[in-house]
Amino acid sequence: MKHKIKLGVNGQDYEVLVDDKTTLVDLLRDELGLTGTNKGCGTGECGACTVIMNKSAVNSCLVLAVDADGAEITTIEGLAHDGHLDPLQQAFIDEGAVQCGFCTPGMIMVAKDFLDKNLNPTEEDYQTAISGNLCRCTGYIKIIKALKKVTGSER
């Protein structure tokens, strides 16, 4: 069955018809053409599809689109403002935290949420922020460095 849902994505309002079983990640990628959010597993085990929904980072593959009716969503495409990159995005670039880039949007979105909510992160907190995101390229080292650069606690 199809449902009409309304949601805001990156500050823009959408009204779409979705199937009961459509997931948010497929809605974003296939319907709305926002392919910046990547799909790595479909079962919440890799974090690549992370978006911010109602001010919390979530695996968009675990959210049914119908359940996102009325939600405010930010994807990686919506992070930069007026052509200025978010400090996290800039830090990822500068610190060499991007290789193949497939995990990158998910990493940035979860880090954004986590660091916004943890203002004085401990060493352990940095790891907790991204422990739900898999990366095969970087070994995570420079990703953690990028996070620390943003909070100003780089060594």
Partner 1 sequence: MSDKKEYTNIGKRVPKLDAVDKVTGKAVYPQDIKLPGMLYGKILWSEQAHAEILEIDTSEAEKLSGVKAVITAKDMPPTKMGIIQDNSPLKDDKVRSLRDEIAAVAAVDEDTAERALELIKVKYKPLSAVFDPEEAMKDGAPQVHAEAKGNRNKLHYSLEYGDVDAAKAESDVVVKHRFKLPFVKHCCLGLHSCVASWDGAGKLTMYSPTQVPFLYQRDLAKVLQILPSMIRVIQPKIGGAFGSKLDLYPNEVICAVLAKKTGRPVKLTYTREEEFKCTPSRQPAIIDIEVGAKKDGTLTFRDVFLILDNGAYTSWGATTPYVIMNPVTSLYKCKNIRFDTAIIYTNNMYSGAMRGYGNPQGNFAVESMMDILAEKLGMDALELRLKNCNEPGEVTPQGMRVTTCGLRECIETVAKRLDWAHKRNRRDNQTGTLRRGVGLASYFHVGGGARVYRSDGCGAIVKMDDFGHVTLITGSTDIGTGSETVLAQITAEELGVRTEDVTVVNNDSAIKPWDVGVHASRTTFIAGNAAREAAAKIKARILKKASEMLDEPENKLEINNRKVYSKTNPEQVIDIGKVIRRAHFREHGEAFVAEAFYDPPTEMQDKEHRGNISVTYGFGTQGAEVEVDTETGQVRILKMVIANDVGRAINPMLLEGQFEGGLSMGIGYALLEKLVVENGEVKNPSFLDYKMPTVKDMPPIEIVLVETDDPAGPFGAKGAAEGGTIPTAAAIRNAVADALGFHMLELPLQPEKVLNAIKAHRIIGD
Partner 2 sequence: MKGFEYHSPGTLEGACELLKKYNGKAHVLAGGTDLVPKMYRLELTPEHVINIKRIPGLSNITYDRSKGLTLGTLVKFNEIIFSKTVNNNYPVLVEVSKEIASHQIRNLATVGGNLCNAAPSADSAPVLIALDSTVTLASPGGRERSMPLEQFFTDPGTTVLAPGEVLTQIHIPPLKPRTGISYVKYTTRKALEIAVVGVAGLVQLEKDTDKCASARLVIAACAPTPLRVPKAEEILVGKKISNQDLGVSAQAVGLVVEPITDVRASDQYRREMVEVQCRRVLEEALSRAYSSLAVGV
Contacts with partner 1, residue ranges (CB under 8 A): 29, 33-43, 45-46, 48, 75-77, 79-80, 85, 89, 92-96, 98-105, 108, 127, 130-131, 133-144
Both structure tokens of 131: 């422990």
Looking only at residues 27 through 66 of this chain, which bind partner 2 when binding is defined by CB under 8 A? Answer: 42-45, 47, 50, 56-59, 61-64, 66
Residue 28 binding: pick among partner 1, partner 2, none (C-beta 5-8 Å cut-off by kind): none
Region of residue 44 (phi > 0: left; psi between -120 and 50: alpha; otherwise: beta)? left
Residue 68 DSSP SS3:
helix
Give me the sign of the Cα torsion angle 72, 76, 81, 83.
Answer: negative
| Beta carbon nearer to partner 2, 93 or 131 | 131
Q: Which stretch binds partner 2 (CB under 8 A): 7-15, 92-100, 123-131, 144-152?
A: 123-131
The whole-angstrom separation of Cα 13 and Cα 119 is 31
Residue 38 binding: pick among partner 1, partner 2, none (C-beta 5-8 Å cut-off by kind): partner 1
Please check whether residue 38 is in contact with residue 50, taking contact to mean a CB–CB distance below 8 angstroms.
no
Whole-angstrom CA distances from 90 to 19, 26, 42, 83 are 37, 27, 28, 12
Using CB under 8 A, count the residues that bind partner 2: 33
Residue 89 binding: pick among partner 2, partner 1, none (C-beta 5-8 Å cut-off by kind): partner 1
Please check whether residue 108 is in contact with residue 88, taking contact to mean a CB–CB distance below 8 angstroms.
yes
| Beta carbon nearer to partner 1, 65 or 103 | 103
Residue 110 binding: pick among partner 1, partner 2, none (C-beta 5-8 Å cut-off by kind): partner 2
Residue 73 DSSP SS3:
strand
